[in-house]
Amino acid sequence: HWWTPDAYEGAATPVTAFMSVAPKAAAFAMALRVFVEGFMPVSAAWTDLLSLVAILTMVWGNVAAMLQDNVKRMLAYSSIAHAGYALVGLVAAGKTGNNDGVAAVAFYLLVYAFMNVGAFSLVLYLQREGSAGDRLDDFDGLIRRSPAMAVLMIFFLLSLGGIPPMAGFLGKLMIFYSAVDARLYLLAVVLAVTSVISLYYYYRIVLRMFLKEEERPATRAGKPLGAALALCGIAVLAMGLYGQ
């Protein structure tokens, strides 16, 4: 993941949104097939190693994200942490041999696609206002100049942080339960603690949107971007409420 923050920051925002979702989903789809099906007879040889990788990924991704002032870099490190959460489900599937971990990872990746594309779409919206869009101060006073966009960003941040009733909470809960069922208690604890840590840097964006003053004219999102944002917002709420 060393390439991720620089690539996310340097790429055009639509490309960044695609890179944050599609390659990760493809990689985990392949990993689930290879490890859970092909390498299941030798699961003892790889589950402990991937447990260590998952812990390092969750801790490093969240700690590094706390230090970022660039929103795209912050979301890049956040995506590293989310890869660690998905790894927990993969390890749980390898430990138990059942499909609970696989189902948890599949659902989590589906949820992650909507909430992460939604967050990057908000950055794209701010860029259409004429700002850089990826600085924290670009979100200043967003609730006053564009309340709908601010509410949608709240949806995405709550989901990324794993707060109910958003879909991200249900995704993390499924992975947490799969880890507990596999008796991976350390992984479950690290997942829970790092999810709480992540709320700090997501809250920084919320603070800017609601409590900072910024006199800047609002702009229209345009129909394609507006439709994409609405779809992502509805999805993270609906899958959180009706995920079963």
C-beta of residue 60 within 8 angstroms of C-beta of residue 94? no
Of the candidates 99, 106, 113, 84, which has an alpha carbon nearest to the alpha carbon of residue 21? 113
203-223, pLDDT tens digit by residue?
999 999 998 876 666 667 778
C-beta of residue 99 within 8 angstroms of C-beta of residue 93? yes
Q: What is the average pLDDT across 73-96? A: 95
Residue 237 confidence (pLDDT) above 90:
yes
168-212, pLDDT tens digit by residue?
999 999 999 999 999 999 999 999 999 999 999 999 999 999 988
The whole-model pTM stands at 0.92
Residue 228 confidence (pLDDT) above 70:
yes
Say which range, 32-36, 46-50, 82-86, 223-227, has the weakest mean pLDDT: 223-227
pLDDT of residue 219: 67
Residue 129 confidence (pLDDT) above 90:
no
Question: What is the average pLDDT value for the chain, to the nearest integer?
Answer: 91
User: What is the residue type of 71?
Assistant: V
Q: What is the average pLDDT across 79-85? A: 96
134 confidence band (pLDDT: 50, 70, 90): confident
Distance CA 77, CA 201 (A): 11
Percent of the chain with pLDDT over 90: 73
Q: Which residues of 168-196 are buried (b: 16+ CB within 10 A; e: fewer)?
A: bbbbbebbbbbbeebebeebbebbeebbe
Of the candidates 156, 165, 189, which has an alpha carbon nearest to the alpha carbon of residue 175? 189
6-47, pLDDT tens digit by residue?
999 889 989 999 999 999 999 999 999 999 989 999 999 999
CB atoms within 10 A of CB 215: 8
